[in-house]
Structure 1
Amino acid sequence: MTAVLPARPSAAERRAAPSLAAAVRDLDSRRARSRQRMIGASELGECRRRAAYRIARRRPTNTRTGLQAFMGTELHRGVLRALRRQYGGLTEVGLRGEQVRGRCDWWHAPVVEDLKTTSRFGFERVLTRGVPVRHWFQVAVYAWLLRTGQTADRRLPAGDGQDVDGLRIRYLSRDSGEDVVFEADHDPALTAEAIMWLTDVYAAVEDEGVDAVPRDGFGPGVDTMCDWCPFLDLCWGPPVDPETEGEVSRQSRLTVTDEDYVEAVHDYDAWRAAENEAKRHKEYARERLRGRSGPADDLYCEWSGGGLRTQVDKDAAVERLVELGEVLPTRRTRSPQTIRVTRSGTRQDRAAGPA
């Protein structure tokens, strides 16, 4: 019997560059986080529905990782390696309790630190809004697991509590290389709040089922919490098909009854009013600050911009092209959809408000 050898790759196939995206997807699928079924400490305080899916051991439906996230992960590892070599301590410490698990980025006794690499916009958001509560939840639970000896790391003796007195979160901008550090003392009340959040989710799943647990995100395209959720399609349904569903969104699937519609219209009206009022207050404070900058208690104010710059005069450019007899370059784009909500009583000749 003659063996059939596989065809040798052609010269073109040998020269073809391998797909980096495919390599990243394969690597991510092998990581423990992609196969994780227990709630991770980084998910505490974020979305209760996502945590419920973990508890119910539902299979993730959206596990694809982009190159940007991959580069962030690799940068994260490199920074931790540098911190460990320079200052000592342990990095990527495995922790595991009965209901939550995690991997502490850096334990440099007696302080637990979590490192978060972020985009320029995320970095700016932290500088302006401060640390989200869920990030404090994360490091507080790391500290609690270490203090109570709930470790899953060969470098630490199982069952032995560790000395942890401080919490630290370091944000690193992937774009500029800037970092900012926030510190706090170990706070048992903060730890208790995080554990209570988790306990409430467990109870809700047991008593009412996964689908009864509320969402804390507002859906894809509106909330990045949902855009990157591994259970996006399971929670909000599959992507909208324009051929069968038209110009709708996944969120619009929640508006089923007339009562749902009325509630959504009133929500829009209420938040529109709140937005306008907040903008008035912000602009008033802005004008009061003109010409002033510097520290203000725990905040810092500074101005930027205002210089002259040169840019294309589009109207003049169009006029010049017309004078030269040139055909104006154009392109077709879809105009954004607008919504208008008015009071029914403002127009006596209309029986109901506009759609």
Structure 2
Amino acid sequence: MTAVLPARPSAAERRAAPSLAAAVRDLDRRRSRSRQRMIGASELGECRLRAAYRVARRRPTNTRTGLQAFLGTELHRGVLRALRRQYGGLTEVALRGEQVKGRCDWWHAPVVEDLKTTSRFGFERVLTRGVPVRHWFQVAVYAWLLRTGQTADRRLPAGSAQDVDGLRIRYLSRDSGEDVVFEAGHDPALTAEALMWLTDVYATVEEEGDEAVPRDGFGPGVDTMCDWCPFLDLCWGLPVDPETEGDVSRQSRLTVTDEDYVAAVRDYDAARAAENEARRSKEYARERLRGRSGPAGELHCEWSGGGLRTQVDKDAAVERLAELGEVVPTRTGRSPQTIRVTRNGVRPD
């Protein structure tokens, strides 16, 4: 019997650069977070159905990891290392309770800190809207696990309660290097609210099953919470096939009956009315602030822009090209789809 040897790689194949994306995907698959089945503290207050899938030990259907997220993770590690070397304390402290687990980014007694690296858009959103409740949930539960000795870290004595009386969240912009810190004292009410959220998910899964737990995201393409969810396809179904389903979305699959259709139209109409009223209120406040800036209680106001800038006059450019006998460059693209919801007139008797 003659052995068949594999073909030798060509010189071009040997010189080809390894795929960074493939390395990132493989690394993510081997990380514990990709395989965990217990609710992580970072998922508290986000989507209840995602947490329910964890509890029910459902297999993730979407495990892709973007290179941007990978770079954020590596930056995260480097920043934590710098904080530990400069100020001491413990980083990436493993914590584990009966129903929740996680890694506290930095415990510099008596304060628990969580570090979040974000894009410039996410950083600006935090500056304008403040810290999401789910992020406070996360550090509050870290503090509770430390205070009750529910640790899984060899650097800490097992079962020994730790002194924690402060919460801190640090946001770092990956684009500019700016950071902003939000602080709060230990709040038993906040901790209780987070644990109640967790308890409700477990109880519903045990009594009625994971599918009885409501989803909190608005679906792919609308909510980034869904776009990066490891259970996206399990929750919303496989991506739409234009050949068989036409120009629809995954969310449109929820509109099955006439009652579903009526409810969706009414939701759109109500949201539009609220949006218009909010815009009027915002513009009114904006006009009241003209000529004023500076601190305003827990907020800060500043104006920017307003300078002169030069822009291309498109109409004049088209006319000039026509005068010169040149063909006006064009390109073909789809116009955005619009929706118009109106009220049906009812003629009085």
- In which range does the TM-score fall when normalised by the shorter chain? over 0.9
Partner of 2:156: 156
Q: 1:277-311 CA distances to partner (integer Å, 9 max, x unpaired)? A: 11000000001101110011000000011111112
Q: Distance in 2 between matches of 1:323 and 1:309?
A: 27
Query: Which moves more between the two structures, 316-325 or 130-139?
Result: 316-325
Q: Distance in 1 between matches of 2:326 and 2:26?
A: 51
Alpha-carbon offset, residue 247 of structure 1: 0.9
The alignment partner of 2:345 has SS state of: helix
Partner of 1:114: 114
Q: Distance in 1 between matches of 2:173 and 2:63?
A: 24
Q: Distance in 2 between matches of 1:276 and 1:347?
A: 27
Q: Normalization by structure 1: what TM-score?
A: 0.96
Alpha-carbon offset, residue 5 of structure 1: 4.0
The alignment partner of 2:39 has SS state of: coil
Alpha-carbon offset, residue 2 of structure 1: 6.2
Q: 1:181-228 CA distances to partner (integer Å, 9 max, x unpaired)? A: 000111111111100000011111122211111111111111111111
Q: Distance in 2 between matches of 1:253 and 1:206?
A: 27
Structure 1 residues 295 and 346, CA gap change in structure 2 (3 angstroms): farther
Q: Distance in 2 between matches of 1:347 and 1:293?
A: 52
Q: Distance in 2 between matches of 1:346 and 1:288?
A: 41
Q: Distance in 1 between matches of 2:199 and 2:347?
A: 52
Alpha-carbon offset, residue 169 of structure 1: 0.2
Q: Distance in 1 between matches of 2:267 and 2:78?
A: 46
Q: Distance in 1 between matches of 2:348 and 2:54?
A: 53
Q: Distance in 2 between matches of 1:176 and 1:330?
A: 36
Structure 1 residues 347 and 24, CA gap change in structure 2 (3 angstroms): farther
Q: 1:34-60 CA distances to partner (integer Å, 9 max, x unpaired)? A: 111110000000010101000100011
Q: Distance in 1 between matches of 2:2 and 2:212?
A: 63
Structure 1 residues 238 and 286, CA gap change in structure 2 (3 angstroms): same
Q: 1:299-339 CA distances to partner (integer Å, 9 max, x unpaired)? A: 00000111111122211111121122122221111111111
Q: Distance in 1 between matches of 2:202 and 2:94?
A: 23
Query: Which moves more between the two structures, 316-325 or 51-60?
Result: 316-325
Alpha-carbon offset, residue 32 of structure 1: 0.7
Q: Distance in 2 between matches of 1:63 and 1:2?
A: 42
Q: Distance in 2 between matches of 1:180 and 1:171?
A: 5
Query: Which moves more between the two structures, 138-147 or 326-335?
Result: 326-335
Query: Which moves more between the two structures, 340-349 or 131-140?
Result: 340-349
Identify unmatched segments of 5+ residues in structure 2: none
Alpha-carbon offset, residue 6 of structure 1: 3.2
Q: 1:109-158 CA distances to partner (integer Å, 9 max, x unpaired)? A: 11100000000010011001110100000000000111111111111111
Answering whether residue 322 of structure 2 is matched by residue 322 of structure 1, we say yes
Query: Which moves more between the two structures, 194-203 or 309-318?
Result: 309-318
The alignment partner of 2:312 has SS state of: coil
Q: Distance in 2 between matches of 1:198 and 1:147?
A: 18
Q: CA RMSD in A?
A: 1.5
Alpha-carbon offset, residue 68 of structure 1: 0.6
Q: Normalization by structure 2: what TM-score?
A: 0.97
Partner of 1:203: 203
Identify unmatched segments of 5+ residues in structure 1: 350-355
Q: Distance in 1 between matches of 2:34 and 2:321?
A: 55
Alpha-carbon offset, residue 3 of structure 1: 5.2
Q: How do residues 110-189 of structure 1 correspond to structure 2 at under 5 angstroms?
A: 110-189=110-189
Alpha-carbon offset, residue 28 of structure 1: 0.8
Alpha-carbon offset, residue 249 of structure 1: 0.6
The alignment partner of 1:161 has SS state of: coil
Structure 1 residues 344 and 104, CA gap change in structure 2 (3 angstroms): same
Q: Distance in 2 between matches of 1:345 and 1:209?
A: 45
Q: Distance in 1 between matches of 2:176 and 2:319?
A: 41
Alpha-carbon offset, residue 176 of structure 1: 0.5
Q: Distance in 1 between matches of 2:3 and 2:260?
A: 68
Q: Distance in 2 between matches of 1:14 and 1:347?
A: 79
Q: Distance in 2 between matches of 1:86 and 1:346?
A: 72
Q: 1:47-98 CA distances to partner (integer Å, 9 max, x unpaired)? A: 1010100010001111100011011000000000000010111100100000
Partner of 2:57: 57
The alignment partner of 1:343 has SS state of: coil
The alignment partner of 1:3 has SS state of: coil
Q: Distance in 1 between matches of 2:85 and 2:166?
A: 21
Q: Percent identity?
A: 91
